[in-house]
């Protein structure tokens, strides 16, 4: 059993105002149905400043799944957040490389979102919608939501194995 009782999943993008908050919201909606109370989903950005809201269009696009990210506050990727997380999903290979720069010893936690659960750090990315119209954000959210649905069973399995595991 985990000490705090929750499995922590972190999404990483650049500014922590578009992709990673949308992913955080989408996965949270799915996990609340599958394993309520056993997880925490957070997000951060490799170049984020603290305290910025999710963009207006990210908030709007997330409503497709009744995901409310309107209270989101951006935060920078830190070693403390890496240490706290059980699973870290990066939007691009560059984000993965930045994770490795901060803490190469935690590599077993790092995955490219589109590759998970395959640990290959190279592959297709989730494009950054910053500065694009709402339709672009909607498409980005749907890409992220599709990935969240694809990886859901693997994440639920990992949560169950970690949170429900007997204490050693």
pLDDT digits (tens, 9 = 90+) for 63-108: 988 999 999 999 999 999 999 999 999 999 999 999 999 999 999 9
Parent domain of 97: 7-163
Any domain includes 1 = no
**Does the annotation count 128 as an active-site position?**
yes
Please report whether residue 16 resides in a domain. yes
Number of domains in the chain: 1
Q: Write out residues in the chain with pLDDT < 50, as ranges.
A: 1
Residue 10 β-bridge partners = 42, 88
Distance CA 164, CA 130 (A): 39
18, 19, 28, 114: the catalytic one is: 19
| R_g of the chain computed on alpha carbons | 15
Q: What is the mean pLDDT of the chain?
A: 95
Residues in the chain: 168
Residue 2 lies in a domain: no
Q: Looking at residue 1, what is its pLDDT? A: 43
In a domain, 51, yes or no: yes
The catalytically annotated residue of 4, 18, 83, 128 is: 128
Catalytic residue among 13, 18, 28, 114: 13
Buried b (16+ CB within 10 A) or exposed e, 19-47: bbbbbbbbbbbbbeeebeebbbbbbbbbe
Is the residue at 75 inside a domain?
A: yes
- Is the pTM higher than 0.75? The answer reads yes
In a domain, 168, yes or no: no
Q: What pLDDT, on the 0 to 100 scale, is given for residue 5?
A: 84
Residue 164's pLDDT is what? 73
Q: Domain containing 83 — which CATH number?
A: 3.40.50.2300
Told to judge if 4 belongs to the known catalytic residues of this protein, a careful annotator would answer: no
Angle at the Cα of 151 from the Cα atoms of 149 and 155, rounded to 5 degrees: 115
């Amino acid at each position: 059993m985990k000490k705090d009782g929750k499995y922590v999943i972190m999404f990483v993008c650049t500014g922590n105002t578009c992709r990673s908050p949308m992913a955080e919201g989408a996965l949270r909606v799915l996990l609340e149905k599958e394993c309520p109370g056993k997880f925490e989903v957070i997000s951060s950005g490799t170049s984020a400043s603290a305290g910025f809201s999710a963009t207006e269009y990210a908030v709007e696009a997330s409503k497709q799944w009744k995901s409310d990210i309107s209270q989101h506050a951006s935060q920078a990727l830190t070693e403390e957040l890496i240490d706290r997380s059980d699973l870290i999903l990066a939007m691009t290979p560059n984000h993965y490389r930045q994770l490795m720069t901060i803490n190469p010893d935690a590599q077993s936690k790092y995955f490219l979102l589109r590759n998970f659960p395959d640990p290959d750090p190279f592959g297709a990315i989730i494009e950054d919608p910053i500065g694009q119209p709402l339709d672009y954000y909607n498409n980005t959210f749907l890409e992220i939501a599709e990935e969240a649905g694809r990886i859901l069973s693997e994440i639920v399995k990992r949560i169950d194995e970690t949170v429900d595991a007997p204490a050693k």
